[in-house]
Amino acid sequence: MPDAPSASLTSPPSIAGRAGTVDASPQREPDAARLGNPSFVWRFGQERRLAMVERYIALEGRRVLDLGCGVGEYVRAFAREGADALGCDIELPRLIEARDRSAAGGWQRTAFLAAAGEDLPFADRSLDVIVLNEVIEHVADDRATLGEVERVLRPGGRCVLFAPNRLYPFETHGIYLRGRYIFGNIPFVNWLPDVLRNRLVPHARAYRHGDWAKLVAGSGLEIVDHQYVFAGYDNIEARWPRVARIVRAISYWAEGNALRRFGLSHLVVLRHVPDPGSGARAGEAAV
């Protein structure tokens, strides 16, 4: 399925480059800080985000990459929707688990590769859709990663990404305080000035509304939609179903008004702009 992959799980892969924290050494950082926590199970929150992706592009028959796929939950969901689904990640144990889960479930239209976002092992213009689900905040170079996204997307292809919102009242990646990593949802960290926020959270970015236009400026990508989304609250539902229903109702109501700017994540949809004279039809690969 992939074009000339540099590494796949048919043989032991070597990691090409390193996506992860901004500053710290991977030997010293916990995985939760360095990489974030992937989706280990498929629940309401994941199903909701899949529906959001499909709001912008039909996956059936498309060649779709989950960049930073973790253990492959979204890759298998894309295959379920009829896509030729690929996943890449920099963590070999997660990729092996992703492959084994897919094999155990009989998923034939999936493949997994070891690669960093800054060096994708795909030919130019070879993919229809790329999804980055809470990944771009961890890569070593977010601008270079979007440059690779632009390179491998076909004309009219879409990139759908979810990324942390700087206005969300909690920092979900934990913080470093006096050299000690503290995991959890820490309140108001993202509202601090950059110099303080980045000292506490050197391992993950959070984005402001205007950052996306700056990141794609001068590239072959254009922003076609920019929304905000709240969480799925699956952990709350597991303990207190009635509370979860109330919290979801309030949060999803807020997504439709000015309070959306305080949502958990940005939802940004990018389109590869066809090169002049390429002969690509406007909107190609977009429906």
Average pLDDT, stretch 233-241?
A: 95
User: Tens digits of per-residue pLDDT, 100-150?
Assistant: 999 999 998 999 999 999 999 999 999 999 999 999 999 999 999 999 999
Average pLDDT, stretch 186-206?
A: 96
Residue from 102, 113, 57 nearest 81 by CA:
57
> Which tokens sit at 74?
């979204």
- Stated as kind and residue range, the H or E segment containing 249 is helix 241-254
User: Tens digits of per-residue pLDDT, 2-60?
Assistant: 443 333 343 223 222 223 333 333 345 666 555 666 667 889 999 999 999 999 999 99
Q: How confident is the model at residue 75 (pLDDT cuts 50, 70, 90)?
A: very high
Check residue 274 and give its pLDDT.
85
Check residue 24 and give its pLDDT.
37
Q: Poorest-confidence range of 33-47, 68-82, 150-164, 214-228? A: 33-47
Give the percent of the chain with pLDDT over 90.
Answer: 79
CATH superfamily placement of domain 31-272: Vaccinia Virus protein VP39 (3.40.50.150)
Residue from 282, 285, 268, 275 nearest 215 by CA:
268
Q: What is the mean pLDDT of the chain?
A: 87
